[in-house]
Amino acid sequence: MKMILVSILLFGGLFFFSVGTIGLLRFDDVFTRAHGAAKCDTLGAVFSLLALVVYNGFGFTSFKLIMVIVFLWITNPTATHLITRAEFNRRKHEKN
């Protein structure tokens, strides 16, 4: 049962990483690329790390992995927001 859940989480992470990569290659605008990459990157990493948590069982290592998940959950959208805001400001100043 444990290995089935680990496999589902790993394939979920692989799916989101793949969709994010396709989004980076397919979308033509910086903003849509950033949106696709940020959402899929965060979910892919979270699912992959949750698979490690389930595989290792709940202990100190799992606690550290959960802290990494929380850190990723906060920093990935924030970094994407800053990158897209910088691009928006760059385009705004180019027009002037």
Q: What is the mean pLDDT of residues 23-51?
A: 90
Q: Exposure of 73 by Cβ count < 10 A (0-12 exposed, 13-18 middle, 19+ buried)?
A: middle
What's residue 39's pLDDT? 87
* Residue corresponding to tokens 């924030």: 78
Q: Is the pLDDT at 44 greater than 90, yes or no?
A: yes
Q: Is the pLDDT at 7 greater than 90, yes or no?
A: yes
Compute the mean pLDDT over every residue in the chain, rounded to the nearest whole number. 91
Q: Which two tokens stand for residue 9?
A: 């989480």
What's residue 65's pLDDT? 95
User: In terms of Cα–Cα distance, which of 52, 53, 35, 40 is closest to 14?
Assistant: 40
Q: What is the mean pLDDT of residues 15-30?
A: 90
Cα distance between residue 3 and residue 37, in whole Å: 28
Q: Are 51 and 9 in contact (CB under 8 A)?
A: yes
What's residue 37's pLDDT? 84
